[in-house]
């Protein structure tokens, strides 16, 4: 399987886990707690597979950058959390950084 497929699974799992944290409610809700535990376990497991074919710095930059953006989108949809302009600009810079790495860096494993 491709390293980027594993990376996509790692990102999706991390987004589910992080988004579920707000719903745990002091460990009183078992389903969100299970999503956090299983989501992070899958995410880190997939990352161990990712770094076999993608340099660890690049993998982490993509994982963290896209995770930040996707968690923010999920929080907006699920919890009605709105971002202000500086937050959106900062995230746009993170996405731009990931794009630069993917398009122009010789360390991406392409």
The CA-atom distances, in angstroms, between 54 and each of 18, 23, 48, 86 are 24, 33, 10, 31
For the segment 7-49, what is each residue's pLDDT rounded down to a tens digit?
999 999 999 999 999 999 888 899 999 999 999 999 999 999 9
Contact at 8 Å (CB) between 13 and 43? yes
Dihedrals phi, psi of 8, to nearest 5 degrees: -60, -40
**Tokens for 31?**
């389903």
Domain ranges, ordered by start, for the chain? 3-104
**Cβ neighbour number for residue 107 with a 10 Å cutoff:** 10
Helix (H) or strand (E) holding 67: helix 56-79
pLDDT at residue 4 tops 80: yes
Handedness of CA 44, 48, 49, 51 (dihedral sign): positive
pTM score, whole prediction: 0.86
Residue listed under structure tokens 């719903």: 23
Which of the four pLDDT bands, split at 50, 70 and 90, describes residue 108? low
């Amino acid at each position: 399987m491709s390293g980027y497929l594993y990376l996509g699974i790692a990102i999706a799992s991390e987004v589910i886990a992080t988004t579920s944290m707000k719903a745990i409610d002091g460990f009183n809700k078992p389903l969100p707690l299970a999503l956090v535990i299983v989501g992070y376990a899958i995410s880190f497991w997939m990352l161990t597979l990712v770094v076999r074919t993608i340099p660890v710095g690049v993998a982490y930059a993509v994982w963290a950058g896209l995770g930040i953006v996707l968690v923010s989108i999920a929080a907006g949809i699920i919890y009605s959390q709105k971002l202000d302009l500086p937050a959106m600009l900062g995230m746009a810079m993170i996405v731009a950084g990931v794009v630069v790495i993917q398009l122009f860096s010789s360390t991406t494993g392409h």
